[in-house]
């Protein structure tokens, strides 16, 4: 019997989608408005889910307070009110698309989750646009 425990979180961040090794025309053609040189912001929403067996002693898969603390330390303190391109080392040479952001977040949280438990991260860039990564 495996149960999924989920925690929602939120951060505001700015980004610009572009490749340094492409011309302005190539970047404009592929990334359009998202290539705005002066950056633009999003209200990112996050759903972090951990799936595993219930510990018979505690009745928990994991203490959701611990999950909240991990998300706060690994994501909110590092991404909230930041410029992802300029302020976050992981995106110095990685385009901060929703896809790349969700993989970076998953990797940061994964190392804090008990082996044997599965991790899934859903990242909303807008209320209608979201991506999912399960480490596959």
10 assigned binding-site residue:
no
Q: 125 an active-site residue?
A: yes
Write down the least CB distance from residue 10 to Ni ion, Å. 16
SS3 10: strand
CA distances from 73 to 4, 48, 78, 91, 103 (A): 21, 14, 7, 18, 17
Distance CA 68, CA 29 (A): 39
Token duo for residue 33: 């408005």
Q: 10 an active-site residue?
A: no
Which of these is catalytic: 10, 28, 73, 81? Answer: 81
40 assigned binding-site residue:
yes
Contacts to Ni ion by CB under 5 A: 34
Nearer to Ni ion, 27 or 61 (CB): 27
Give catalytic residues, as residue numbers: 34, 81, 125
């Amino acid at each position: 019997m495996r149960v999924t425990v989920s925690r929602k979180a939120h951060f505001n961040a700015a980004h610009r989608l572009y490749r340094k090794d492409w011309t302005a025309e190539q970047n404009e053609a592929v990334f359009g408005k998202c290539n705005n040189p002066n950056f633009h912001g999003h209200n990112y929403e996050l759903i972090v889910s951990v799936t595993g067996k219930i510990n018979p002693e505690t009745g928990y898969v994991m203490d959701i307070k611990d999950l909240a603390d991990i998300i706060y330390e690994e994501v909110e303190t590092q991404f909230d009110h930041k410029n992802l391109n300029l302020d976050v080392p992981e995106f110095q040479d990685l385009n901060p698309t929703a896809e790349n952001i969700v993989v970076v977040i998953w990797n940061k949280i994964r190392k804090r989750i008990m082996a044997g438990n599965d991790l899934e991260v859903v990242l909303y860039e807008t209320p209608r646009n979201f991506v999912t990564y399960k480490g596959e």
